[in-house]
Structure 1
Amino acid sequence: MSDLELLTRSLGRNVKRWRTERGFTLDTLAARAGVSRGILIQIEQARTNPSIGTIVKIGDALGVAVTTLLDYERGPTVRVVPADQAVRLWHTEAGSHNRLLAGAEAPGPLEMWDWRLMPGESSDSDPHPVGTVELVHVTAGELTLTVDGVDHRVPTGASASFEASTPHTYGNRGDVPTEMIMAVSVPPVH
């Protein structure tokens, strides 16, 4: 079985599990996540490979980390993710990409990401649930972080934190690749 097939099956199984555990109908989850009921059915039946944006929306609506939705095995208390097993969910032909490094449910979803943005490229993010906090640390280049329409320069070695419940964009307006580590904390669903 290919990695993509494994991820697609894991996503379907885990979305259904968490939807059921939360007591959500397909219609309820669709409304909360802002995706169609039909796409949820296709995801739960492992018949589609949705975009990272769709996966994030579903995770936010369920109150679980993306890593939890993509996890294909329930592991021990300590889980080491080898570098070659980090999940790459977004990339461009120019070489920009992100990798989901690790995640946990503590007390809500907590994720750690590795990002690379090539010169002139950016990635837009829809607002996350109120209470979501993101932390970024730039390890190379310069990040232009746009939160609710306001640009913030984050140079190499600098960090930023922000409430991610408004539209935000990670951008590279420089002429060298931008590399950063990002942590996302989403409040638990009650």
Structure 2
Amino acid sequence: MSDLDQLTQSLARNLKHWRGERGFTLDALASRAGVSRGMIIQIEQARTNPSVGTTVKLADALGVSITTLLDQDQSAKVRVVGPAGTVRMWSTDAGSSSTLLVGTERRGPLEMWEWWLMPGEGSESDPHPPGTVEMLNVREGTLTLVANGAEHPVPAGSSAVFEAHVAHGYRNDGTEPVRMTMCVSVPPVP
């Protein structure tokens, strides 16, 4: 079985599990996530590979991290995740990418990401649930963080923290690659 097939199977199994755990019908989850009922059925039957945006919407609606939806095993008290266990969520031909390094469900979803943004590229995100906080540290280049329409330059060696319940995005307006590490903390579903 290929890595993509394993990822698709894990997502199908975990989405179905967490939907049941939360007591959500297909229609309730579709409404909360803004994702069609048909798409959720296809994902739960491992017949499709959803976009990053769709996966984020489902995780947010369930109050779990993307890691929880994608991981094959979350049972260990100590979990070491090597390079082969990380999940590349998106990439471009120019070399931009985001990779989910590790995450947990303890006290609400918490995720750690590594991002590369090549010059002239960027990524936008829909608002996350209220109480969601993102923290990032730029290791190379200068990031343009856009939160609720306002632009904030974050140069190498600097960090930023913001409430991510508003539309936000990340851009590289410079001439050298941006490399950053980001943590996302989502409050637990009440």
TM-score (norm 2): 0.99
Structure 2 CA distance, aligned partners of 1:188 and 1:63?
A: 5
Cα distance in 2 for partners of 1:107, 1:86 equals 22
- Give the Cα–Cα distance (whole angstroms) in 1 for the partners of residues 100 and 131 of structure 2: 21
Where does structure 2 lack aligned partners over 5 or more consecutive residues?
none
Amino acid at match of 1:137: N
Secondary structure in structure 2 of the residue aligned to 1:17: helix
| Deviation, structure 1 residue 72 | 1.1
Structure 1 counterpart of 2:67? 67
Taking the aligned partners of 1:67 and 1:9, their CA distance within structure 2 comes to 14
Q: Post-superposition shift, 1:68?
A: 0.5
Task: Tell me the alpha carbon deviations over residues 108-163 of structure 1, each in whole angstroms, 9 at most, x when there is no partner.
Answer: 10000000000000000000000000001000001000000000000000000000
Q: Tell me which residue corresponds to 2:173.
A: 173
Does residue 1:12 correspond to 2:12, yes or no?
yes
Q: Find the aligned partners of 2:164 and 2:139 in 1 and give their Cα distance.
A: 21
CA distance in structure 2 between the aligned counterparts of 1:7 and 1:73, rounded to whole angstroms: 12
Partner residue of 2:96?
A: 96
In the alignment, structure 1 segments of 5+ residues that lack a partner are: none
% of aligned pairs identical?
63
Matched, 1:148 2:148: yes
Letter in 2 for 1:44: E
1:21 is matched with 21
Q: Structure 2 CA distance, aligned partners of 1:156 and 1:84?
A: 27
Residue identity opposite 1:78 in structure 2: V
Matched pairs, number: 190
Q: What is the Cα deviation at residue 83 of structure 1? A: 1.7
Distance 1:22 1:75 in 2: 19
Query: Contact conserved, 2:112 with 2:184, CA < 8 A, in 1?
Result: yes
Query: How far apart in 1 are the matches of 2:95 and 2:20?
Result: 38
Following TM superposition, the consecutive aligned residue runs of length 4 or more in structure 1 with deviations greater than 3 angstroms are none
Deviation at 1:106, TM superposition (A): 2.2
CA distance, structure 1, for counterparts of residue 158 and residue 128 of structure 2: 23
Does the 8 Å contact 2:68/2:74 carry over to 1?
no
Distance, in Å, in 2 between the alignment partners of 1:114 and 1:74 is 20
Per-residue CA deviation, residues 22-51 of structure 1 (Å, 9 max, x unaligned), is: 000000000000100000000000000001
1:138 aligned to 2:138? yes
Does the aligned pair in 1 maintain the 2:135–2:182 contact within 8 Å? yes
Of residues 81-90 and 170-179 in structure 1, the stretch that sits farther from structure 2 once superposed is 81-90
Letter in 2 for 1:28: A
Q: Which residue of 2 aligns with 1:3?
A: 3
